[in-house]
Structure 1
């Protein structure tokens, strides 16, 4: 209960002493005889009728990157000191806004948006109750960017030696013309990244494999806005050491024309691969053996139809 001391202004020629007045807040205190007042009448307002604006909203969640034409979802909330329901305005920085609500104070509000063009956008949110609005939230930066196209299959040698340094090249196009770099997967647990180059321009990079084997290599492109392409189709690279030089073919040194005679040779393969032998008979003809294990000798027969001296090798 509020206690007021009211000094009533007497009519002309009379006096009225000060009186103690008790007020329970239900009514306004007004002098009904306005002709006796020097000032206009006043109304006492209950302090609980005052409205406080919502506090600055906070963007709680949402992607920081996306592609043009892809729906992005964001959530935000604000606190209203009076507990009033709130309407939220999401400003998307591309000339568009979204209004959602009402939501209870501190409840999470959600809104979706699609950016049509690549760019960097600052998302902001404002909350409003029936009488006042909050400040704008801190900006939430979103990078909208289209990823590069799939690179072409890396170009280079298909068969190389272990530890042989060999270059492979690829290229890709970026829809926005962003600068690109290429990441190569060599199929042996190692990756390499090129320098930056213009969209559509090919770049090459070198690699060597330490062990013989078959490796599937591929490349992908990354643009300057950190968007990545799909991996290219793979390309197989065979890393192989050649067999050692075969032994001089073993066999008879003098034979008759038309006589079928066998000759044998053997060789070692550094990688332990299976081998076959090709014999050059010196008369314009060649013979090839079946496959055999590394280091194992194989023999094959031949005959010469004319007399002469022939140099054979395998």
Structure 2
């Protein structure tokens, strides 16, 4: 009985296939797969797939990522010839071949596409050696501990210290292989194992180092706490504030600033705040409380240095890759995002367009994301796209950026002579310097580099 059912099933399938061919219906064309060719483990990648059906019917797709994940047809069909985005993250390192197949409404299937190779690697920073610093300290006195490690791609690194009683904030960045100095004071005597770890702009984190054993003893006096920093006035000065020491009232406070390698004293206030005019410079700040002849430093070093994001490629709105460009307020690092996905709206601060279908226009323009859904090129869905403003920079690259107060800021800026520099004012009230290094309208690509000021409202961008 089973043999009879199988033969009947095969006969019916053959009848459907022959009927479809006799009706002139043919399978879709072989899909084209586009996407990145290299990635760290667990990064979410976007692959674009397109196939055309001879009869213009909707097509379904299934993708084989080559990593053992399920290979299933999409539930919905998509218009013939439309590029469809699929997202995938590879859980393990290795070399993978991504393929796609298309199926039309008649159930006729294409051949598998050509394999798109993807190399997936572990790109975590190396585990740092134990921190370098003193092993005997006094409470209320600030000490310096240095750390270093490398990144397999040579990326810049941020460092975080575990001081034995608390874990500090992430600080940096510094170039791969360079030394970073952490600043710490303890309020209680005891033994403290000090460790350090590193992460990159993609938030890939190393393991903790082996500890440095530190013994702390307690004298009289103590440091200020709650050290804070904010933009002041028109965004050219820095307001510093802190909480008075619990140990008593100091003779004075000492405010220090470092543009290069060494700190220098810039003020000796008696109140727990100070507004510093750095003269357009950026750098690191420290504050200490003086009891008699002893200085007790606050545990944190705060800085106003802009975060540099190296040159990266984004695509015109109709290009073949990620079109959106935005900065992380947490790290200051820039990254590219697919504007075909409204979920990326909170991550995008700008995009480039020629205000036409395709990407061959002679003039490209940097535009606020709020204009994405109405761009003639199409492809950007409605969403909570953020508002950004731009102004051409005519002064020196290290000069403060113009204040945002209407003109000269606009929500679009034509790209002219290269390299071109733009001041950017984001929805979170952060300033950034954007440099457009290259435009290629034949490929729809734009190469951008930037410096992001992590202090909201501060216009200082010297780097």
Q: TM-score range by the shorter chain?
A: 0.3 to 0.5
Instruction: Indicate the structure with greater strand content.
Output: 2
TM-score, L = length of structure 1 = 0.40
TM-score, L = length of structure 2 = 0.28
Larger Rg: 1
Instruction: Indicate the structure with greater helix content.
Output: 2
